[in-house]
A and B are shown apart, each in its own frame.
Chain A
Amino acid sequence: MDKLSSIGQLEWFRSRILFRKEKGIIEVHVCMTGCRAYGAAGVLEALNQEVKSQGLSKQVEIRSTGCHGFCAKAPVIAIEPMGIQYQEVEPDDAGDIVMKTLKENRMIDRLAYHAPKTFQPVFYRNQIPFYAKQERRVLANCGRIDPTNIEHYIAAGGYRALIKALSNMGPEQVIDEVQAAKLRGRGGAGFPTGLKWKFASQSEGRPKYVVCNADEGDPGAFMDRAILEGDPHAVVEGMLLGAYAMGSEYGFIYVREEYPIAIDHLNIAIAQAEELGLLGENILGTGFNFNLSLRLGAGAFVCGEETALMASIEGRRGMPRARPPFPAQAGIDGKPTNINNVETWANVPLIVNNGAGWYGEVGTENSKGTKIFSLAGKVNNTGLVEVPIGTTVKDVIFNIGGGIPKGRQFKAVQMGGPAGGCVPAQFLNLSIDYDTVQSIGAIMGSGGMVVLDENNCMVEIARFFLSFTQSESCGKCAPCRLGTTQLLEILTRITRGEGRMEDIDTIRELGQTLTEASLCGLGQACPKPALSTLRYFINEYEDHIKEHRCAGAVCDSMVISACQHACPAGIDVPNYVAAIADGEYEKSVEIIRERNPFPAVCGRICIHPCEYKCRRGELDQAVAIRALKRMASDWYFKNIGPQRNPFPVNKKEKIAIVGAGPAGLTCAYFLVKMGYKTTVYEAQSVAGGMLGIAVPEFRLPRPVIEEEIQYIKIVVLKSCTTHRLMPNTHSTTYSTRDTVPFLLPPVPRPASTSVYPAKTKTSQEFTTALIF
C-alpha cells in the first residue's frame, strides 16, 4: 500500500473501498475478542467452512470483529444488514445458520434471545431490551468492523475527523470544540479535557508528548479493553487530533500486558496507519508529524496514576510524585505531556466530526455525552453498556442489565473500583454523572459497575478492596503504606469476628488521614470502599462485631457453613446432607429434628434461605437442600413411621402453651425434650394452626401435617396434652402457681386475642409467633 500524500488521497482511498465493496453481501460478525474465551474461534472456523461447502463464499462475508457488548450470552454473532443477533452459538450451529438463516432467510429459535418473562424469541438486535435503552456512540464500530483492517475503519467514516481538523480547523479551534463539548476525563477524575489540552498547548518546551492511559487496572472494569480490541483506530485518531491540537510530535499508548489481544490489535493498527501515512512524518502532506508507539505495563496498578505512568514509561519504578508541576508543565523527560484515558481519546473524533452541539445533545448540564459501563457481578446481562451520562442506576442494572439472577435481592452496586464506593438500593433512582455519584460517597470512576446481591458481605467487600490497595501501594509515602496496612488489619479483624466497637471510629479517622495526607490518588481514594460501606451498611459492621453474624454468610470464621448460617432454625445442613449422601436417611432426619421437629413440612414449604446462600450456587446451581430434606423425611415416615419412645419428664415446673400451631408445637417439643411437663391449649379442634388453615393442600398435603403432629404427640405423649380453649375465655385453668404460660396467639390477628390473663401482660411473658 502506498502512502497517502494528501487529504484528497485519503478521501479517494475511502471512495475506492466503498466502490469496491460488493453490494448485497451478507456480513456475519463474530466477536473474536471477549467471546474468544468462550469458543468463538471454533464458531468462526465452522462458519467459514460451512459457507465454503454450501457455496456461499461470494455472497457471505464472515468477519471477526470486536465486542458486541452482550457478553453474558457469549459467543455472540450478528448478521448484517438484517440486524439479526444470535447468542451462545456453538460450532455445531454453523450448518443451521448458513443453511436456514443465510440461505433461506429463516430464523433459528434456539439461538435467539428469549424475553425473560414471555420466553418469546427476539431475533433482531434493536428489539433486545439490553440494546434498546443504549446509545452506542463510542462503541458504534465495536462489533461491526474488523479491528485488524484499517480499510473497515475508513469505510465506516474513520479518519474523517482528522481530515476535518487538518483542512478546516486550526489547533485552537480543535481545543475550543473539545472544550465546548464539555468532555470530561473518562478515567475517573472527570477533569475537563479541553482545559487540560489548553494547559499543555500553552506550555513551552519541545518535544511535547501525548499519552493514552490504557493501564486499565480497576478490578471490575473492562471498557477500555473492549475499545482497544474492537476499535483501536478510534484511539489512534483521537490521539492524532490531540497531538495536532497541542502541537505534539510523540505519543505513547501505555497498555497493560494482561491484555494480549488489545496489544496485538494496537500493534496492527499502528503499523497500518504508518503504512498509509496517517502516522509518521508529514501526515497527508500537511507537514504535521506524529509518531506513536506502545509501551507495555508490567503489572503495577499504581502505574494508572499519571506521574507513576510517566516514570514507568521512562523505565523507572512506577512511583508517583507530588504535583505540581503537573504533566502539562513537566511530564515525560521534563517535557509538557498530556495524558488521557482510552475512552476519552475515543470520544474526540466524534466531537470533532459532529461538533460540540451534536455531542451535547445527550448528557447532563455539566457532563455531556455518553459513558461506557462494564456491568459485572450479580447481574443477568453482564457486558458493556453505553448510555447517556445521567441515566439512572435502575435503568442500567434492571432495564438494561436485566436484574439480579436466581431471584435474589439487590443489595448495592460498587462503582469506581478500589477508589470508589457503593451505591445502595435506596439510591436506585440516582442519575449517574460525575457530581451526583460523588455526592453520595461513590464515584463514577472509569465505569466499572459490580453488582452485589444479598449474598455479599459489605465488610468483606471493603476488606477485599483494602487488601488490593494495600498490596498495590507503591510504598513511597507513609500515610498510604502504613494506613492501608492498618485499615486492612482492622477490617480483617472484624471479618474474623474479633472486631471491637471502637474499630468503627478508627476506620473513619484513619480514612480521613489517608484522604488528606497521601501523595497520590491511590492513597487518597483507597479508604472510600470502607467509608462508603460504613455509611450505608453500618448495621453489618455492628452485626459482625457484636453478634458475630455475617448477613451474606461469607466471612469464614463466623460461618461454619453458609447454609446453616442462613437457616433461621440453625439446622446443621452440611451434616444432614452428608448423611443423605451416605444413604443414612434416619440419621439425617434426627439431625434436622435437633433444631426443628417438622422435617417433612419444611421439606415442602420452607422458603429455603439455605439454598440462596449456598456457596455452590455462586459457581453453578445451589444444592437442592429442601428437596433432599423432603426426600429423607418422606422415607422416614414411610419406613419408620411416627413411632418413638416419649421423652422422660424430670423437672417439676409445669408449662402451659396457648396455641397448637407450628410455633406452639415446636415450643412444646423442645420443652418436653428438656424434661418439663407441658400442656398445649388450642381453640381449634385440630392442632397444626396455620399449617393446616392457611397453607393450601397442594402445597402441603394434610396427611403430611398429621404425620408430623402425630410424631410430636407421641414423643411428648405422657407430658403433653392439648386442651380446647375457647376464644374470649379469661381462663385461670393454666395460671396456677407452678405453671409458666407461653402465649402464642393466632398469627393473622394477634391483637384481637383476649385470652391473655390479666396478670401476664408484661412483654417478657408474651411470646408472639410472628410479628406483623
Chain B
Amino acid sequence: MHPPEIELNELDGIIERHKNGKWELIPLLQDVQATYGYIPPESITPIAEALNLYPSQVQGVVTFYSGFSLKPKGKYVCRVCRGTACHVKGSRSILRLMKRELELEEGETSPDYRFTLETVACLGACFLAPTMMINRDYFGKLSPTKLSSVLGEYRQKGNNKNG
C-alpha cells in the first residue's frame, strides 16, 4: 500500500509564513512535519532556497534531530517510553509486547500506514511508568491487559474511519 497522497502546495504557505523571520528553519520544519506527518524529501530544496541555505544544511538539520522523519509515518504513532523509571518498571516487556501485537520493529510503520512503533528517551510521565504515547495521548501504568485494550480501541477507531 502506498502512503497517503500529499498536497505539496500547502508547503508554499508554510514557507511564506517563516520566510522573513530570524532562525526560522527549525520552526518551519516543525510546521511541515505537523502538516504532512513527515518531512517530504522533495520539500528540502524549496525550503533551502526560501531561507537562503544550502539543501545540505537543511538535510543536516533534518537528520540531526530525532523529531524529524524523512519517511511517512502511520496514522497512530505509538511511542513507548524507555526512560529510566519506565525501564526499571518493565518497559522492556511492554516494548516486546508492542512489537508482537503490531508485528513491527522499532521505527517501522505498518504496511497500511496505520501504526508506527517508536521508542522515546523519556516522556516525563515517570510517575505513571511504564508509559507510552499514541499521538498526543498518554497511557500509563501499562500492563499486558491494558496494552491490548488500548491497542484494540485504536484498531477499532481505524476500522470505523476507514468504513
Contacts and interface: CB of A to CB of B under 8 A. Distances in A.
Interface of A: 34, 36-38, 71-72, 74, 216-222, 225, 256-260, 295-301, 312-319, 374-378, 382-384, 414, 417, 448, 450, 452, 456, 461, 464-465, 468, 472, 474, 615, 618-620
A42 B129 CA distance: 21
Interface stretch (B1-9, B115-123, B153-161): B115-123
A317 B60 contact: yes
A376 B131 contact: no
Contact of A315 (B23, B90, B131, B145): B23
A383 B26 contact: no
B77 to A, nearest CB: 12
Given A468-B121, A615-B90, 20 more contacts: A38-B128, A74-B127, A216-B124, A220-B83, A221-B122, A256-B124, A257-B67, A260-B136, A298-B65, A298-B66, A312-B26, A313-B23, A314-B23, A317-B60, A318-B65, A375-B127, A414-B84, A461-B87, A461-B88, A619-B89
B26 A315 contact: yes
Interface string B129-142: 11101001111111
Contact of A376 (B27, B29, B126, B143): B126
Nearest to A615: B93
B15 interface: no
Contacts of B36: none
Contacts of B121: 217, 219, 301, 468, 472
A370 B64 CA distance: 37
A299 B67 contact: yes
A618 B90 contact: yes
Contacts of A474: 64
A382 B124 CA distance: 13
B61 interface: yes
Nearest to A451: B88
A219 B122 contact: yes
29 contacts: A34-B125, A38-B140, A216-B124, A217-B122, A219-B87, A220-B83, A222-B126, A222-B127, A296-B26, A298-B65, A298-B67, A298-B68, A299-B66, A299-B120, A300-B67, A316-B25, A317-B64, A377-B88, A382-B85, A382-B129, A417-B84, A448-B84, A450-B84, A461-B84, A464-B84, A468-B121, A619-B89, A619-B142, A620-B145
A399 B147 CA distance: 33
B88 A452 contact: yes
Interface string B70-87: 000000000000111101
A296 B30 contact: yes
Interface string B18-31: 00000111110110
Which 9 A-B residue pairs are closest in the complex by CB-CB distance?
A618-B90, A71-B127, A299-B67, A219-B83, A37-B138, A376-B126, A298-B65, A376-B85, A298-B67
Given A298-B30, A312-B26, A37 B140 contact: yes
A74 B88 contact: no
Interface in B36-60: 60
A618 B89 contact: yes
Contact of B89 (A38, A222, A299, A377): A377
A74 B140 CA distance: 10
B144 interface: yes
Of A71, A216, A221, A619, most buried by chain B (CB within 10 Å of CB) is A619
Tell which of B90, B133, B144 has the most Cβ of chain A within 10 Å: B90
A317 B61 contact: yes
B1 to A, nearest CB: 27
Contacts of A618: 89-90, 93
Contacts of A465: 84
Given A257-B30, A316-B61, A450-B88, A619 B143 contact: yes
Count chain B CB atoms within 10 A of each CB in A219, A313, A314 and give the residue with the most: A219
Given A296-B30, A456-B88, A464-B84, A259 B124 contact: yes
B98 interface: no
Interface of B: 23-27, 29-30, 60-61, 64-68, 82-85, 87-90, 93-94, 120-131, 133, 136-145
A334 to B, nearest CB: 13
A73 B90 CA distance: 19
B143 A382 contact: no
A72 B84 contact: no
Contacts of A216: 124
B85 A220 contact: yes
A71 B141 CA distance: 11
A382 B126 contact: yes
B84 A220 contact: yes
A252 to B, nearest CB: 10
A225 B25 CA distance: 25
Contacts of B23: 313-315
B125 A37 contact: yes
A218 B122 contact: yes
B70 to A, nearest CB: 13
User: Looking at B87, B140, B141, which has the most chain A CB atoms within 10 Å of its CB?
Assistant: B87
A620 B64 contact: no
Contacts of A375: 127
Nearest to A312: B26
A461 B129 CA distance: 16
Contacts of B30: 257, 296, 298
A219 B125 contact: no
A21 B24 CA distance: 43
Given A257-B67, A377-B84, A377-B85, A450 B128 contact: no
Contact of B85 (A384, A450, A472): A450
Contacts of A461: 84, 87-88
A296 B127 contact: no
A493 to B, nearest CB: 19
Contacts of A218: 122
Contact of B124 (A225, A299, A383, A615): A225
Contact of B123 (A258, A314, A472): A258
B127 A382 contact: yes
Contacts of B93: 615, 618-619
Nearest to A382: B127
Contacts of B131: 37
A382 B122 CA distance: 16
A619 B139 CA distance: 14
B24 to A, nearest CB: 7
A384 B128 CA distance: 12
Contacts of B29: 298
B67 A377 contact: no
Contacts of B129: 376-377, 382
A417 to B, nearest CB: 7
Nearest to B57: A316
A618 B140 CA distance: 14
A378 B65 contact: no
Nearest to A554: B92
B127 A376 contact: yes
B87 A464 contact: yes
Given A298-B26, A298-B67, A315-B24, A258 B124 contact: yes
A133 B73 CA distance: 47
Nearest to A475: B64
A615 B92 CA distance: 10
A313 to B, nearest CB: 6
Nearest to B90: A618
Contact of A221 (B26, B67, B87, B124): B124
